[in-house]
Amino acid sequence: MNNNRMCSYSMSEIFPLIEELINIDKQVVITARGNSMRPFLRDRIDRLILAKPCDAVQKGDVLLYEKPEGVFVLHRVVSEDEDGTFTFMGDCQNNKDVGVTADMIKAKLVGFFRGAKEISTDNPRYKKFVNFWIKSRIVRRIYVGIFHRLKTR
């Protein structure tokens, strides 16, 4: 097992393999990278379970999408907009990413590992917490502020 070594590759380098596997209906486990999805997903600690995005996109889903410039982002859907595109935002961010189209969406987070414990995104407690997180703008802003302040120290 060599988590750190796999982490040294960018998502654009490992995505062809992820795509190959999800296209044959396999779930794919990778290590989380970046802090934009804290507190749910911790950089290089939690392991993500990705799958092919089969269902209709819903608010609260965490999806992997590819921006036109080739950058891959795993963020949460915060709204479906009138023009049929989606707005995404990291759980540890206050800035939104608008205009994400359905064809830019490449994979869906269906669960994650916290240590050895596997948590499905269908888990009722997880859903409750996600719901709270999306709605609680003040709590979220305080958390994001504290987290970024601690990070820059």
Contacts with other proteins by CB under 8 A lie at: 1-3, 5-6, 9, 13-14, 17-18, 20-21, 26-31, 47, 49
- Least distance (Å) between residue 71 CB and other proteins: 17
SS3 42: coil
Helix (H), strand (E) at residue 5: helix 3-7
Least distance to other proteins from the beta carbon of 58, Å? 23
The residue among 2 and 152 lying less far from other proteins, judged by its C-beta, is 2
Q: Take residue 104 and report the two structure tokens written for it.
A: 């830019």
CB-nearer residue toward other proteins: 21 or 78: 21
Nearest to 35 by CA among 120, 110, 143: 143
Distance CA(100)–CA(87), nearest Å, equals 6
In the complex, least distance from residue 54 CB atom to other proteins, rounded to whole angstroms: 15
Q: Is the peptide bond before 39 cis (omega within 30 degrees of 0)?
A: yes
> Looking at beta carbons only, is 21 or 119 nearer to other proteins?
21
Q: How far is the CB of 152 from other proteins (least distance, A)?
A: 29
Calculate the dihedral angle through the C-alpha atoms of 128, 133, 138, 141, rounding to the nearest 10 degrees: 160
Smallest distance, other proteins to C-beta of residue 143, A: 27
Q: Is the Cβ of residue 2 or residue 95 nearer to other proteins in the bound state?
A: 2
DSSP three-state, residue 140: helix
CB of 96 closer than 8 Å to CB of 87: yes
Q: Which is nearer to other proteins, 70 or 145 (CB)?
A: 70
